[in-house]
Structure 1
Amino acid sequence: MVEHLARTELRHGWTLRETDNLTVEEIPVKEVPTVVHLDLIQAQKIPDPFIGFNELDVEWVGERPWTYTTKFQQPITKDGARVDLVFEGLDTFAEVKVNGETVLKSDNMFMSYRCDITKLLRSGADNDLQIDFASALLRGREIEKQHPEYRFICHNGETGRLGVRKAQYHWGWDWGPVLMTAGPWRPVWIETYHGRIADVWSDIKPSKDFKSATGKVFVRVEGPAKSVALRMNLAGNTILEQTIQVNDHGLATATVTIDDPSLWFPHGYGDQPLYQINVRLLGGETVLDEVNKKVGIREAELVQEIDDAGKSFYLRINGVDVFAGGSCWIPADNFLPRITHEKYRNWLQLMVEGGQVMTRVWGGGIYEDDAFYDICDELGILVWQDFMFACGSYPTWPELLESVKLEAVCNLRRLRHHPSIVIYAGNNEDYQIQEQYNLDYDRYNKDTKSWLRSTFPARYIYEELLPSVVGEECPNVPYWPASPFSGGANSADLTVGDVHQWNVWHGKQEKYQVYEQIGGRFNSEFGLEAFPVMKTIEGFVKDKSDLHPRSAVMDFHNKADGHERRIGLYLAENFRPTNSMTSYAYITQVSQSEAMYFAYKPWRRQWGENRRCGGALVWQLNDCWPCTSWALVDYHLRKKPAFYTVSRLLAPIAVGVQRQHHDWSVCHARPAITLQWKLWIVSTKLTPVEASVELRFISVETGKDIKPAVKKDCTIVPNGTTNVVEGVVHNREEEPHILAARVFVNGTCIARDTDWPQPLKYLTFGDRRLKVTQNENEIQISTEKPVKALVFEEADGVKLSDNCLDLVPGDDQVIKVEGKNLQGKLSWTYLGYEE
């Protein structure tokens, strides 16, 4: 039992007012953590910014200064105990006063702070706590003017954001609104103690043969205590138990040796054991403080080896090569205190459900809450962690560099015990800014100080400051200067490093059917937009007359530049026109699903071909508000069809069949005489699997097999690609038909794939004679003619085991249904249903 340390969270009893307007009434604050917008919404002073055009009506909030106040009693102390006021996060320019005395001035949202207020407290009376928040929007503009020696260049938001250490997406992004928040966005504490455990971390490495692990556990102490009791266990079994002394620098160190360690793996590759470290700070017979941390033992390597395609880029965990199929992560709300532990779990559980093994925490958001990484540890989700710089040429005056260094140290120390974090990257797309604006960059210049005098001074942050801090604080996690980055060459280089492949949608606006040809060694961003589900649309469209695809409010809830043209382009290239909101939303979703199909499928095949592709992280998994975007799942956690498509492509064993791409628009719709096709199987299993493969050739019009099926037995190679069979489609001799593949293991179908003639708009569907039978627990589906993209409407509280299905005659499918909120029959549609 901890006898001397007392911690009280200051959650309730706060009020809010405009700092400069003393005539306005104070607003009661429901609870802290909070931001101003949430309190104004709660008090009905502003409308919900997520509905209609309300974002415009609340812009003024971000231009005003705001003050939070509360009162607290002096903690009961004895024997000269110290009292600290602790802020886990202040957004962003904040001055903190206790009983009228300034104890802190903050200018970095990503920092936590601890203030000694022992001598400021009033005994037997209320103590006043006041936090004044300046407008980060206006302060950023002022800072830019104060530093004319720098070129403030950025994409998304305004240039003033570059000098402010605040979540950059708050200035608006091409998927999110402009909502400039302020407030105590993370918890506020009063802590009383004689001695405290400031930090606990470990550096335990497995041996080369993984049969043992050795290293150290470190404990940093503040206060006069001289010893700590350390216990380390796994599943109740004690690994280490000893009392260790604290040295004159406040550090206690214990050596650890573990035989046959239980190694932490990403899900699908092994288990996720977490060792429990318990540390108690001793003051004689008294326990002054106690800390528990969970750590995983694993080795993470970034493998970059010269090969016949350039240089590899993939992750190896505990000696096992891992295909990093997954998605990028943005903050799940514009108002960060609304992201609860439950919401984090629901989001991350979706990744596991969808077979996704990695997420990339994007550099324009935040270093996420502890809960995010705890859940990734538990579920076995690998984390690519960006530092918080995005789409800009950042300035580097000395005070800003010092703030960045403190920010890095603060967050690395908070996060370094998480086995899920396997790579740190310096920024998001800043080297693309350097290239686009022809800023200084000489890859052979190693004079780091000269970088600060160049037109791209942020190179010093990414290639000197941050790798130095990572090497000191997290020596067992690889560091990469940026995403994307090619080692100093063009960031679009497909032969080395990671790449953001935006020549589909952005750039050249290539057809999504060519993803196979334009993928890099690691595809850390790519994507195509789609409307959210209809229930989400109906939630943010106030006037029902605006429920059509081209209304102003629909465009307002899509922040991507040129989205009207780009959505229209991909629909025109691939699908027949439609006009109703429901059918238009559905077609955009099918377009996104098809794009993901043509990306993940060949890239995963390339993984097994000399590790040609090391990973694919779609932009993006989630949304921060209800909108049209690249997300696979919308703000309300309602899945788009592409989520299921990606899930099937990332299954432990997946089959792929694909005919070569023929660019019909260049050839004026003239079909190719012949097209080659290939059939393969990919596996992340670590042992071989015996399987049977079937390939059918099925007429789109009649549903009949136009020639005999191919059947073959094979051994699926572990953690790689098994090429099974290939052939030719004769377009002038054979009617339009589907290549339908299935894989059977022990007589059970475990994987399916269908390859359709492209583009789909040239095909006539009409009545498919589809039969759908639904009961409480499952949906049974059969058809007499091929069906493309059968989608059941997502219903809250109902979980479908699969969706967005392609079906062929003779291959009935079943969708499992979970949830008790299902009211009546699920509605559904498929491509061409309206014909």
Structure 2
Amino acid sequence: MKAIPFNSTPLRGWSFKQGDRSSDEEWMGAGDPPTEVHRDLEHNGKASDYRKDLNELAVRWIGDETWTYRTTFRQPESQEGLGHDGGVKTVLNFEGLDTFASVYLNDELILSSDNMFIQHRVQVSLKTENELEIVFESARLKGLELVKQHPEHRFIVHQTEISRGPVRKAQYHWGWDWGPIIMTCGPTKPITLETYACRLEGLQVLYDLSADLKEVNGRIQVEHEGVKGELYVELVNNQTGKIEWSTTGLQQVSSKTEGATKLYEAPFTLNEEVQLWWPRGYGSQYLYTVKVVARSGTHVLHTISQTTGFRHVELVQEPDSHGQSFYFRINHVDIFVGGSCWIPIDNDLSRHHPSESSSSSYKNWIRLAAEGNQTMVRVWGGGVYEPDAFYAAADELGVLVWQDFMFACANYPAHPAYLESVVLEARQNVRRLRHHPSIVIWAGNNEDYQIVERYGLQYDADDDGKDPEKWLKTDFPARYIYEHLLSKIIESETVGVPYHPSSPFGNGKSTVLKVDPTIGDVHQWNVWHGTMEPYQKLPKMGGRFVSEFGMEAYPHLDTLEKCITRKEDRYPGSMTMDFRNKAIGHERRLVSYVTENFRLRQDLEGFAHLTQVMQADAVGCAYKAWRRQWGIGKGDRKCGGVLVWQLNDCWPTISWAVADYYGVPKPAYYAIKRAMQPIAVGVQRRFRDWTMKPADGKLWQRDTSHIDMRSLWEDDVRFDAWVSSNGQNELDRAKLTVKFISVTTGKEVAEPIALGVSSQTNGCIEVIHDRKVKIPDKKQDASEPYDATKSDPFVIYATLHDNTDQLISSDCSWPDPIKYLDFSADRGVKLEYSEDKSTAVVTADKPVKGFVLSEVAELAGPLSDNGFDIMPGERYEIKTPSDYPIDRLKWRYVGMHE
């Protein structure tokens, strides 16, 4: 058998046309895979850029058509004259086809695919000259056909039309409440021609850490096809470049041999030399590269490698005084997780494929999360299994990954053909991703159990699961997928990574609609959605782990101007502006939250700014309050983490994202960054909910929608202050100072409080609890008619300094609502710029709410800080991440220009 090396060649020179193979439409030039039809039509001048204005409506027709792609290529020289028995295999490797694809090689059908998430490898015989054609049918129309073909199933979907239910395609392509309806198709991942006599695959490192985490014992496994030759394995420390272990002594595991592919393995041990992978903020991210080489004499036949890290993962779900815990323990250290949910980076995913120049996009996004003190991203189940570049960046930067399987907001079928496709999809993607140390949990779906509750589907939460086959006979057959099939795949294909049936899920009894805060994870959508509670209530609306919650805001003006090109459309509530915001009821909800808290601005710049400040207030108060519930140790972990919906956007829009489509952060991003500092101080007024009954059973009069107006003027203000720290930071002889600063004058209205603080690591210490603010010069007598001009509302401002008097953290609590405060007096805001315009220092004479620099994509990264409040006597430094002059950025604050 001829010992030729493994060779993989991308197929290039593609064209495409509308219709199937028999259509007489003209052929047009197409991009080489990865590509997709919307991009190719736009490049040929046949479709407009749907990311701008109302153009989404102009391209909807594309998703209902059939499209054919083709290319020609020569037979590789290494395969010429060898035929099937020449010892060299020739394989067409389709890494991903979107979605209903029929593949023809030299007029012969060689592949039919109906799952976007599956890779196909087809062994072929070639001619000297070859033609490859791929016909893509409309996923939407095929989905409607499948619904009709399965009348036995009750198809229910949220957000979109019913056709997405039976189709294994990225569900957000049907549109969502943050994204457009863009029904893509095409060769969205590379297509390559492989020739080889030997091929390696399925590389896996199976290991256990000793109890003291100082020793690793494991096995390295690899699957082999074709000429065996000699297998060599090495394990390299990426930080030092040292080969820590190597061998040529792989043994065949006969019990797992299947067909022409054989499984080999070698045991290994690392003793005192092992270096662990840690989440960011808790240690270093040590990585190792495992490489396997197949040789025939001096010839290298094939080489494969992967990067991994050694860590121990636990999802701690134990009974405690609050119910049942839900938090992560990494390498025996409890980790409070603060992060965000992730949706696909684009509607045209091929724009960001790692094979293109934009391969850094994924790393830039993970770096953005990391620089914002975020410790986790959750890959949401309505998108895609992300490319390796996404997870490699998370590995490198120490960002944990919560990985959903690709099911979201629907009652999915479970007939045999569908299950067969799901098994292949799940197994392929788990095998592809299992070596990434950043992935610490797999979840079965997103919010599918709310469908059960809302529509009364058959579900017995107390079923012991001993006979999961019976679930297939109910009107919720997907329970078989989530609570049996996927868990078995995780168990068989990975080691030490927990599986969670759904997000949210609390033993089947906690859903989006019926939140049980004592168990599992929760999606808290009674702020914005649901009952539209005031966001000031969020601290008391958490759970054991809040895996979704959020608040909408506009992006910066620069982003709006990129996607709304007509100046006459650039006002709040314009047709184009409303069209781009896909959230149901956003016209009422966004304005309601803004006007409930701020004086409404009609101009676009002013209104956009208020939405951003409002979002930052809502998100920030939730993060710091839920982190406060981390407690002081085992049995007191009331809240194990919080993930905002969402980190990013898939197109330029108005949404819950804390950074827009171009990666430009909104102020909420910085609110999270401040709340998730390694050591963070928090201060909060006591919130009075006037809808609650007092002890005497009588309803109190409700002064406003959610505000106790007495707190603006009476000496009845009470507050709490606390300090949170992660697992690596301990306070010693720090000083907490609390000041009470008049909004009107900028002067202190009461004696400050100064306390010494020392705290243990990895917890929250309550420093001040329910302290009453003593105002010595109360100007309003309760026996007199109320005179609003005599009130002197104040900000509670807390700072934490270390034992060298260096500022560690600060926080402030304003009297709500902000709209009742008088900002008419000049705030005395000043900006001083460094000579090279890389730094700005901001000061003010009076308290300033919501100081925001209007960021632009040209910054190529986040500022050091933004969207903060300014207190008199303090200096706030802002640095740019690039050479973009900071003095070119516009700035504004609440009440400016009024």
| TM-score tier (shorter) | over 0.9
2:438 paired with 1:416: no
Number of the residue aligned with 1:28: 29
Number of the residue aligned with 1:210: 213
CA spacing shift, 1:477–1:44, aligned 2, 3 Å: same
Number of the residue aligned with 1:189: 192
Number of the residue aligned with 1:254: 266
Separation of aligned partners in 2, 1:186 and 1:826: 39
Number of the residue aligned with 2:573: 550
Separation of aligned partners in 1, 2:77 and 2:441: 44
> What is the CA distance between 1:358 and its match in structure 2?
0.1
Given candidates 582, 595, 605, the residue that maps to 1:559 is 582
SS at the partner of 2:49? coil
Partner amino acid for 1:108? Answer: N
Number of the residue aligned with 1:114: 121
CA displacement 1:694-714 (0-9 Å, x = unmatched):
111111111001122111221
Separation of aligned partners in 1, 2:346 and 2:684: 38
Number of the residue aligned with 1:97: 104
Number of the residue aligned with 2:347: 334
SS at the partner of 1:110? coil
The percentage of counterpart residues that share the same residue type is: 46
Moved more, 232-241 or 551-560: 232-241
Number of the residue aligned with 1:481: 501
> What is the CA distance between 1:723 and its match in structure 2?
1.6
> What is the CA distance between 1:416 and its match in structure 2?
0.5
Given candidates 132, 136, 139, the residue that maps to 2:139 is 136
> What is the CA distance between 1:459 and its match in structure 2?
0.4
SS at the partner of 1:355? coil
Q: Which structure 2 residues correspond to residues 561-600 of structure 1 after superposition, within 5 A?
A: 561-600=584-623
Contact 2:679 2:729 in 1 (8 A): no
2:175 paired with 1:172: yes
Contact 1:367 1:388 in 2 (8 A): yes
CA displacement 1:768-811 (0-9 Å, x = unmatched):
11111123121111111001110011033334210011111111
SS at the partner of 2:248? strand
Given candidates 211, 221, 226, the residue that maps to 1:223 is 226
Please give the root-mean-square deviation of Cα atoms over the aligned residues, in Å. Answer: 1.6
In the superposition, the TM-score normalised over structure 1's length comes to 0.97
Given candidates 609, 615, 622, the residue that maps to 2:641 is 615
Moved more, 232-241 or 561-570: 232-241
Contact 1:427 1:483 in 2 (8 A): yes
2:296 paired with 1:239: no
Number of the residue aligned with 2:851: 790
Number of the residue aligned with 1:774: 833
Contact 2:504 2:510 in 1 (8 A): no
Contact 1:17 1:68 in 2 (8 A): no
> What is the CA distance between 1:687 and its match in structure 2?
4.5
Number of the residue aligned with 2:394: 376
Separation of aligned partners in 1, 2:38 and 2:76: 31
Q: Which structure 2 residues correspond to residues 637-656 of structure 1 after superposition, within 5 A?
A: 637-656=663-682
In the superposition, the TM-score normalised over structure 2's length comes to 0.91
Partner amino acid for 1:479? Answer: Y
Separation of aligned partners in 1, 2:710 and 2:572: 32
Number of the residue aligned with 1:713: 756
Contact 2:19 2:65 in 1 (8 A): yes
Contact 1:653 1:685 in 2 (8 A): no
> What is the CA distance between 1:826 and its match in structure 2?
2.2
Number of the residue aligned with 1:830: 893
> What is the CA distance between 1:624 and its match in structure 2?
0.3
Moved more, 23-32 or 636-645: 23-32
> What is the CA distance between 1:675 and its match in structure 2?
3.6
> What is the CA distance between 1:353 and its match in structure 2?
0.8
Contact 1:50 1:540 in 2 (8 A): yes
Separation of aligned partners in 2, 1:462 and 1:363: 12
Partner amino acid for 2:647? Answer: L
Given candidates 275, 280, 295, the residue that maps to 1:267 is 280
> What is the CA distance between 1:20 and its match in structure 2?
6.4
CA displacement 1:208-246 (0-9 Å, x = unmatched):
111111111101111131541001121222221111345
> What is the CA distance between 1:824 and its match in structure 2?
4.7
Number of the residue aligned with 2:878: 815
Separation of aligned partners in 1, 2:660 and 2:610: 16
Number of the residue aligned with 1:671: 710
Contact 2:556 2:666 in 1 (8 A): yes
Contact 2:335 2:727 in 1 (8 A): no
Q: Which structure 2 residues correspond to residues 687-702 of structure 1 after superposition, within 5 A?
A: 687-690=729-732, 691-702=734-745
Contact 1:244 1:252 in 2 (8 A): no
> What is the CA distance between 1:486 and its match in structure 2?
0.6
- The count of residues paired between Structure 1 and Structure 2 equals 830
> What is the CA distance between 1:685 and its match in structure 2?
4.1
2:863 paired with 1:800: yes
Contact 1:792 1:828 in 2 (8 A): yes
Contact 1:774 1:825 in 2 (8 A): no
> What is the CA distance between 1:537 and its match in structure 2?
1.0
Partner amino acid for 1:739? Answer: I
Contact 1:226 1:246 in 2 (8 A): no
CA displacement 1:668-711 (0-9 Å, x = unmatched):
14425624211111111425222121111111111001122111
Contact 2:880 2:886 in 1 (8 A): no
Number of the residue aligned with 1:751: 809
Number of the residue aligned with 1:154: 157
Separation of aligned partners in 1, 2:598 and 2:499: 43
Number of the residue aligned with 2:789: none
Number of the residue aligned with 2:487: 467
CA displacement 1:32-82 (0-9 Å, x = unmatched):
100100100111100001111111111110000111000111012255211
Separation of aligned partners in 2, 1:309 and 1:329: 29
> What is the CA distance between 1:475 and its match in structure 2?
2.6
Partner amino acid for 1:459? Answer: R
Number of the residue aligned with 1:67: 68
Separation of aligned partners in 2, 1:341 and 1:205: 33
SS at the partner of 2:578? helix
Q: Name stretches of at least 5 consecutive residues in structure 2 with no aligned partner.
A: 80-85, 353-357, 692-700, 780-791
Contact 2:631 2:763 in 1 (8 A): yes
Separation of aligned partners in 2, 1:508 and 1:653: 34
